[in-house]
Structure 1
Amino acid sequence: MSEHQEGWKIAGLALLPIRFVQGWIFWGGGSRRFIYDPSKLDPHAHQWMANKLQSAMPGAILGVDHIISFILLHFDLLYASVLIFSLLELVSGLCLILGCFTRLAGITTMLISVVLMLAFGWQGATCMDEWTMAAATLAMSFTLVLSGASIYSIDNLLMKKYPWLVTRRWFRLLTSGPLAFNKFKKMALCLLALTIVFTLFTYNHYRGSIFTPYHLGPVSAGKHHITLSHGVLKRDGSITLTLYVDGGTPATPSNIIRIELLNDKNQIVSAWNADTLSLLSNDKIQNEYAYNRVHTGQYGLVAPLSAKAAITLSSEHFQRLPGKSYRLIVFTINGNRFQMPLSLSNK
């Protein structure tokens, strides 16, 4: 055995814990959906993966939020995406555990880690949970792409049984085996540079502290935020508005307990309390997405993270009001309030 090959085997031994843990992380994600909790792949179940995917939209970066939105609006594409993603997790994780096509599996988990970072990296109110997981699995993926699997792997068994495979470049690049030092060094430095840039860029975006002062992120992962838009105050006594929960935790929904309409003198023109809101009919709440939805509850409206809906409120008072400038305020059960200006429509 040459010194080069011996060094490669030593590296493989040292990285066995990383290979196993990385493999188990991704095997665990896929196996939970296919084996242990198949309801995650059931579109009619509460645990259906589309709900989790939708919850990523408010803070997803680099246009991933628009991609998620498009997928959510096309069920066939959505279901295929969830199945393919879960299958890639399952197979790549198992391949890493067994050391089978290790470098290819490492590339797969690397791509999955990037996608997870761009979509979910903003979530985790206390410890940046999703960012930490994605950054760690990305670094481990790069490491396994470089090292492959030496001993205690299917790749090694194949090389022993079919020695001619070692001479094939495609085999070494997709499975395992020592690489020429100069090429290995260039690859290692390139992956190191990518790791540093990606880690620092995403961390600075989510928390600052590198190129900008520390902050809690452009989208809050712990405090619900509701954006109001497309508000129209009609003379027939109705208000239409779009409500989008674009911040907060997916663990608990935001509860809207009161909505007020104020005139330009800050006088309450009309109000809808929890009892009134809880009695809104389904045709008054038009959800854009079929998964995380705004709906009525015991204490008004229940609005989970990433829910987006057009709401219609009715009142008979508007026809008797002078002026055209008004303000709509939405109150939540935890004391937050969100508002937007309204103008009386001529229609």
Structure 2
Amino acid sequence: MTSSSFRTIDHMSPPASRTVSGTVETAGRIAGLSMISVRAIQGFIYWGGGSRRFIYAPSKLDPNATHWMANKFQTAMPGALLGMSHVISYMLHHFVLLYAGVILFSAAELVVGLMLMMGLYTRVAALASMGFSVVLMLMFGWQGATCIDEWTMASCNLAMGATLLLGGGGAYALDNVLLRRNPKLADNRLFRWVSGCLPLPVADGQWRTLALLVLAFVVVFDVSTYSYYRGSVLTPFHSGPVSPTAHHVTLADATLGADGTVRFHATLDAGTPEAPLHIVRAALLDANKSSIVQWDAEALSKLPKTAFANDYAYNKFGTGPFGLRAAMGAAAYITLTVPAAQAADTVRGATLMLTDVDGRTFSTALGAPNALAR
């Protein structure tokens, strides 16, 4: 049938039919143009993450640099969800796996971001971006000194990715160019699933079901993680199971050695990664909470490097100008020497207490040496 025939048929169609047809065509055009900003910014966000590391701030991929990505990963461990803290810890202990993971994730962000901005295989790129968002929310979603800014960004990215997955890439996309050059691709189901220039090859009812399932996943995942991190959904607002503002140190395995040393394990498992922890006092207390032995800030700042056995090679416990210093996620065995004049019997059974620069205290009972103390 010729184009003139189509025009004749359209001319002969009832006015209401032509109006509906024109409305549908206009709605499709509006939707296609509306998707561009979502696709472009979603792509730019992930392109920006990858390009910063490969192009503009390569020190993030340098294991010897201060901004090496491993340090960022370690800050995420205390609040990571669904076992991600164990994954991060394992990677931090295996450099080859860690470095490969950082490079591959950064490269994937770069490629996916570029694909979204260009509108190339939009749906598969959108699905990958949703995966990035989920991982980032599970790892870093709890962080943010004034609000859960890491969660906010990733939750919006998840919704944007879902929109592109369902709706496609809209206008001005390379997917459209591929179809225009090879119209037979319109009959290729795989092309329609991975690209964003045509509706998905499913019936209307199936598409509606898929859209509702994606909606349910996005809403449930976003709202449930927000509720876990801050409440304010079914429960009152709270600062989270892991505080993003107030430092907290968990002490364990505190023992008194035969050589007159106190050895204990300390983990900085809450607080902001923007500022280090400063421990300005350590003390052994008797049953009445009176000090038996204490180490002030000056004594702590003079501890030798051998007094620290850090669990990880990145964020560490060590000495600073105000006593002990630690970056977020640091964990270490620390050794303090009890003065020779102090009788061991008066120390045994005491409580070890650390005090930070803000006056917060962290304590644990001092026990006999055991197999857990390394």
2:71 & 2:125 partners in 1: Cα distance? Answer: 27
Match of 1:178 in 2: 199
| In 2: Cα distance, 1:194 partner to 1:332 partner | 42
Distance in 2 between the 1:6 and 1:88 partners?
A: 36
- In structure 2, the partner of 1:219 is 242
Q: Give the Cα separation in 1 of the matches to 2:357 and 2:151.
A: 29
**SS of structure 2 residue aligned to 1:291:** coil
Question: 1:44 corresponds to which residue?
Answer: 64
Alignment check: 8 A CA contact 1:55 1:306 kept = yes
Q: 1:338 aligned to 2:354?
A: no
Whole-Å separation in 1 of the counterparts to 2:66 and 2:274: 13
Q: Compute the displacement of 1:266 (Å).
A: 2.2
Which has the larger displacement, 23-32 or 201-210?
Answer: 201-210
- Which residue of 1 is the match for residue 14 of structure 2? none
Distance 2:289 2:222 in 1: 48
Aligned to 2:13: none
Q: Secondary structure at the match of 2:136?
A: helix
Aligned positions of 1:1-347 closer than 5 A:
7-176=27-196, 177-179=198-200, 180=202, 181-315=204-338, 316-322=340-346, 324-344=348-368
Q: TM-score, normalised by structure 1?
A: 0.95
> Aligned partners of 1:320, 1:160: CA distance in 2, in Å?
85
Distance in structure 1 (CA, Å) of the matches to 2:368 and 2:147: 46
Gaps of 5+ in 1: none
- 1:9 and 1:71 map into 2 onto residues whose CA distance is 47
- Asked whether the 8 Å contact 1:269–1:317 carries over to 2, the reply is no
Cα RMSD between the aligned structures? 1.9
In 2: Cα distance, 1:330 partner to 1:323 partner: 16
Contact 2:260-2:337 at 8 Å conserved across structures: yes
| 1:122 partner letter | W
Question: In structure 2, do the counterparts of structure 1 residues 83 and 346 end up closer, same or farther at CA, with 3 Å as the change threshold?
Answer: closer
CA distance in 1, matches of 2:76, 2:124: 27
Deviations 1:237-280 (A, max 9, x none): 11110110000000010011110011123221111111111111
Unmatched segments (≥5 aa) in structure 2: 1-5, 7-20
Question: In 1, are the aligned partners of 2:35 and 2:170 still within 8 Å (CA)?
Answer: no
Between the two proteins, what is the percent identity of the paired residues? 46
Distance in 2, Cα, partners of 1:322 & 1:227: 25
Change (3 A) 1:341 1:317: farther
Partner SS for 1:178:
coil
Specify the code of the residue in structure 2 equivalent to 1:257: V
Residue type of the alignment partner of 2:351? R
1:260-304 deviation per Cα after TM superposition (whole angstroms, max 9, x unaligned):
011123221111111111111111101101111111111111111
Q: Structure 1 runs of 4+ off > 6 angstroms?
A: 1-6
Pairwise CA distance, 1:6: 6.3
1:87-121 deviations in whole A, cap 9, x for unaligned?
11111111111101100110010000000000000
TM-score (ref. length: structure 2): 0.89
CA distance in structure 2 between the partners assigned to 1:276 and 1:323 by the alignment: 19
Q: CA–CA distance in 2 between the matches of 1:9 and 1:83? A: 39
